Amino acid sequence: MPLSEHEQKVLQAMEQALYAEDPRFATHITNHGLHQNKRRMILGAVGVVAGLALVVLAALYSLIWLGAVGFALMVAGGAYAFSPAKKTVLGAVGEDGSIRHAAASRKSSRAGSKSSFMQRLEARWDRRRHDEW
C-alpha cells in the first residue's frame, strides 16, 4: 500500500530534519546500512548455495547425515541473510554536545524519571508540529 501525499511529505520533512540536525550521522547510517545488508545477503546466499550442494551430494551418495547438514546450512544461510543486523551502541551525545560512552548514558538514563523523558519527547513533538504548519 503506497503512502499518501501527506505521509510522504511528513517523511520527507523528517528526513530533511535529520540531515539538517546531524548530516554526518545521517550519511553514516545511510551508507553503513546498505553496505551491511548487502554483505549479509551475499554471505547468506553463499550459505544457501553451499547447503544445496551438500544436499545434492548427499542424495547422490545416499548419505543422510550429509543431507541433514546441508539442509541445516541452507536454513542458517537464509535466516542470516534475511535477519536484521544487530545494532551496536558506540556512544551517546550529551545535552552539552559531548560524546559519552554507552554505559554512562545508560546509567544517566536510569537516574532520570520517565515522566521527564516523556515530557521532553512531547515538547519536541509539539515543536516539530508547530514548525511544520
Cα gap 94→108, rounded to integer Å:
10
Contact predicate 48/78, CB 8 Å: yes
Q: Is the pLDDT of residue 4 over 70?
A: yes
pLDDT one-digit tens code per residue, 46-91: 999 999 999 999 999 999 999 999 999 999 999 998 887 765 544 4
Q: Who has greater pLDDT, 108 or 65?
A: 65
Q: Is 62 exposed, middle or buried (0-12, 13-18, 19+ CB in 10 A)?
A: exposed
pTM, full prediction:
0.45
